[in-house]
Structure 1
């Protein structure tokens, strides 16, 4: 697989989708439960990994892989990308004054979250390009997507 910017952006967008689903769901649940920053972030990060891996697993299962093989490939393909994305987007959410405390009905919360995910995408794309260029990450599972 050739490590082009388009391929790297596609792989990053794939991870970003799972991360965004997990982040939003985690924040909704944490807000509904009245949780503070740390447990909210821990739940959002955990769900980001769950949904990020789930999107990859879905494609691998459709390609006919069994659980163990699919899980190994998903972990190898997505872990670094999701980890970087989560560090960046949660770090940004924490440094934007009032973003974490603004609530789900606030433009500040959604604007900060959208901005944090955009920055996470921009930071993670070159990392994914480098990983794919080394034959790792999404390069490993690309053959199963056809």
Structure 2
């Protein structure tokens, strides 16, 4: 079983390097953005609604972004017939760097944006900063995903289960 997985990975690595287009990287980043955005928005809304300080709100948003990012990938690979343990390994391999970069950029923009961390749910600044920070994170994470896919890493690992 280990040998088959290694052979499949080696074959896929060559296939992934050839298929590391910008379109593939954009698709992978949009997938990552979906999970991150769900977690990020939910975390910010919950933390703000409960009147939590900046640090617990950011921690919750980051934890939820990773959770939903991994969950979306895991759902897809489990649907493809991969077992839970292997599916978790695939999700971790596929998404960790992408989510980390996205969260670093996204939260960095929000923290550095004057007044964004103090804005309430009814403030346009709250929602505007969140949308703009996610857009900036998308733009900066796409080249990371292209680089990883070109090396048979990241979402290249997931794509072998979509065929």
TM-score w.r.t. the length of structure 2 is 0.88
Task: Identify the residue that residue 140 of structure 1 maps to in structure 2.
Answer: 157
Segments of 5+ residues of structure 2 without an aligned counterpart are 1-15
Shift of residue 141 of structure 1?
1.1
Deviations for 1:27-56, whole angstroms, at most 9, x for unmatched residues?
111112210111000000000000000000
Q: Structure 1: how far apart are the matches of 2:45 and 2:57?
A: 9
Q: Residue 67 in 1 paired to residue 117 in 2?
A: no
Segments of 5+ residues of structure 1 without an aligned counterpart are none
Q: Structure 2: how far apart are the matches of 1:70 and 1:107?
A: 39
RMSD between superposed Cα atoms in Å: 0.7
Shift of residue 100 of structure 1?
1.1
Q: Structure 2: how far apart are the matches of 1:93 and 1:36?
A: 14
Larger Rg: 2
Equivalent pairs, count = 146
Task: Identify the residue that residue 128 of structure 1 maps to in structure 2.
Answer: 145
Task: Identify the residue that residue 57 of structure 1 maps to in structure 2.
Answer: 74
Q: Residue 9 in 1 paired to residue 5 in 2?
A: no
Q: Structure 2: how far apart are the matches of 1:79 and 1:110?
A: 26
Task: Identify the residue that residue 64 of structure 2 maps to in structure 1.
Answer: 47
Q: Structure 1: how far apart are the matches of 2:54 and 2:62?
A: 12
Shift of residue 144 of structure 1?
0.7
Secondary structure, counterpart of 1:120 in structure 2: helix
